[in-house]
Amino acid sequence: ATSRISGVKAFSLSGRSALSFRLRPLPRRLQISCAAKPETVNKVCAIVRKQLALPDDSAVTGESKFSALGADSLDTVEIVMGLEEEFGISVEEESAQSIATVQDAADLIEKLIAKKGA
């Protein structure tokens, strides 16, 4: 039988010997998130609008997914090239493939700029 008691699972095994034990929940891992500066996100939004030929008043935010904005793989490559040119960085192909949203791109840009300046 399995029951949940305030986030802790309790197990009991019955048979020849009665054995019971409790599993403690694992401590949550510390997650550090460094969100990009709003200026960086705004610049990325502008570049995405330009590369996808979207109207200036179109809703592009940090949460916007390139695919939802109508970008295909070629558009995404062109966006990354535009970002590299604008920010003076070089994005590895592996890193470029992990970019799905405007926020992903902005975070990666700031990480690369910080690495470049170090």
Concerning whether 72 is annotated as a catalytic residue, the answer is yes
CA-CA distances (angstroms) from residue 19 to 7, 22, 26, 101, 103? 21, 11, 22, 50, 50
Nearest to 45 by CA among 87, 54, 19: 54
Catalytic residue among 56, 57, 72, 104: 72
CA pair distance 6, 22, nearest whole angstrom: 12
Strand partners, 87: none
- Two tokens at 28? 């949550």
With 0-12 CB in 10 A as exposed, 13-18 as middle and 19+ as buried, what is 40?
Answer: buried
**Active centre residues (catalytic):** 72
